[in-house]
């Protein structure tokens, strides 16, 4: 029998990488503020970190999405769903390269937003998940939990499509259906500092595990 111990000890080093950290939640739950603060914190500890967000409105697909969200264009529900997904696919290989080079990515919204928002419109959840299969799976999903009514009170919504209380209630329900083992649910009604501290603890742990060596995996297998 071949002795695999040498291979096993090598595996850790080969799999050393940055962490894929995703923040999810309803509009106005504080994701953008918290992801920005989290990146600053990781950088201050010396970890190579980048802040990403979806939709990435800078690409041509992203511009179509942005125009739809600001009600400047109309699109069929399935069409816009596939555009959101394409917007993730167009960044997939860069995402893999960055993670493998040791950079941690803190991502403001990901596939779960895609599935939660589109299925809240009435599209079948499995149909919504299908185009996301094969994208990189996050190491942790930080769900900033807030009652839709509370989110609506926070300075109101910006007027983009989907920013309506009744719709957000449905989205919240879909997120609950999607919640799985690698999700951490954080009470987003706590103070900004409390939320920040909780996120830091969870993420630091995750970053260290990935640095020690953890293979990348794909949605929706875990
Ligand atoms: N959204 C976001 C989707 O409907 N599907 C997706 O795949 C993603 C990533 O876009 N209301 C929705 C959720 C938000 C809106 O996002 C714009 P943000 O984070 O407000 O820029
Ligand atoms: Mg928004």
- Measured by CA distance, the residue closest to atom 2 of ligand 1 is 113
Half-sphere exposure of 51 (CA within 13 A, CB side): 14
Query: What is the predicted pLDDT for the residue at 92?
Result: 98
| 112, 24 Cβ separation under 8 angstroms | yes
Residue 3 banded pLDDT, cuts 50, 70, 90: very low
Mutate to test the pocket of ligand 1, among 34, 79, 110, 117 (most ligand atoms within 8 A of CB): 117
Across the chain, what does the average pLDDT equal? 94
- Kindly give the distance from the C-alpha atom of residue 32 to the centroid of ligand 2, in angstroms, as a whole number: 9
Query: What is the predicted pLDDT for the residue at 222?
Result: 47
Query: What is the predicted pLDDT for the residue at 156?
Result: 77
What tens digit of pLDDT does each residue of 143-162 get? 999 999 999 998 878 889 99
| 56, 105 Cβ separation under 8 angstroms | no
- Kindly give the distance from the C-alpha atom of residue 187 to the centroid of ligand 1, in angstroms, as a whole number: 21
The atom of ligand 1 lying closest to the CA of 162 is: 11
Query: What is the predicted pLDDT for the residue at 8?
Result: 45
Mutate to test the pocket of ligand 1, among 22, 25, 29, 69 (most ligand atoms within 8 A of CB): 69
What tens digit of pLDDT does each residue of 5-49 get? 444 445 556 789 999 999 999 999 999 999 999 999 999 999 999
Query: What is the predicted pLDDT for the residue at 101?
Result: 98
Q: Is the CB of 112 under 6 A from ligand 1?
A: no
Query: What is the predicted pLDDT for the residue at 12?
Result: 54
Q: What is the mean pLDDT of residues 85-92?
A: 98
How much of the chain exceeds pLDDT 90, in percent?
89
Query: What is the predicted pLDDT for the residue at 220?
Result: 87
- For the chain, list the domains and their CATH numbers: 5-219 (3.40.50.300)
Which residues have C-beta within 8 Å of that of residue 54, sequence separation ≥ 6?
Answer: 84, 87, 88, 107, 108, 109, 110, 113, 114
Answer whether residue 58 shows pLDDT above 90: yes
Q: What is the mean pLDDT of residues 134-140?
A: 98
> Could you give the CA distance from residue 70 to residue 66 in angstroms, rounded to a whole number?
6
Query: What is the predicted pLDDT for the residue at 179?
Result: 97
What tens digit of pLDDT does each residue of 166-204 get? 999 999 999 999 999 999 999 999 999 999 999 999 999
User: What global pTM score does this model have?
Assistant: 0.94
Q: What is the mean pLDDT of residues 97-122?
A: 98
> Could you give the CA distance from residue 168 to residue 147 in angstroms, rounded to a whole number?
9
Q: 26: burial class by Cβ within 10 Å (0-12, 13-18, 19+)? A: buried
Query: What is the predicted pLDDT for the residue at 134?
Result: 97
Query: What is the predicted pLDDT for the residue at 129?
Result: 98
Query: What is the predicted pLDDT for the residue at 7?
Result: 45
Q: Is the CB of 47 under 6 A from ligand 1?
A: no
Over 39-105, what HEC string results? HHHHHHCCCCEEEEECCCCCCHHHHHHHHHHCCCCCCCHHHHHHHHHHHHHCCHHHHHHHHHCCCEE
């Amino acid at each position: 029998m071949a002795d695999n111990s040498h291979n096993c000890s090598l595996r850790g080093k080969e799999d050393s990488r940055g962490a894929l950290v995703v923040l999810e939640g309803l509009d106005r739950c504080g994701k953008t503020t918290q992801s920005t603060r989290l990146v600053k914190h990781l950088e201050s500890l010396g970890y190579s970190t980048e802040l990403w967000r979806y939709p990435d409105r800078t690409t041509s697909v992203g511009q179509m999405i942005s125009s739809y969200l600001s009600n400047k264009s109309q699109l069929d529900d399935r069409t816009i769903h596939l555009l959101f997904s394409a917007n993730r696919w167009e960044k997939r290989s860069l995402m893999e390269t960055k993670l493998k080079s040791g950079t941690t990515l803190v991502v403001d919204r990901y596939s779960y937003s895609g599935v939660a928002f589109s299925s809240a419109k009435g599209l079948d959840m499995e149909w919504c998940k299908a185009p996301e299969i094969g994208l990189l799976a996050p190491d942790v999903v930080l769900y900033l939990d807030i009652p839709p009514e509370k989110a609506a009170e926070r300075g109101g919504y910006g007027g983009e499509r989907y920013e309506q209380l009744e719709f957000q209630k449905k989205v919240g329900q879909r997120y609950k259906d999607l919640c799985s083992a690698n999700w951490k649910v954080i009470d987003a009604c706590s103070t900004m500092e409390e939320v920040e501290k909780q996120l830091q603890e969870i993420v630091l742990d995750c970053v260290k595990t990935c640095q020690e060596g953890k293979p990348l995996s794909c949605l929706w297998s875990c």
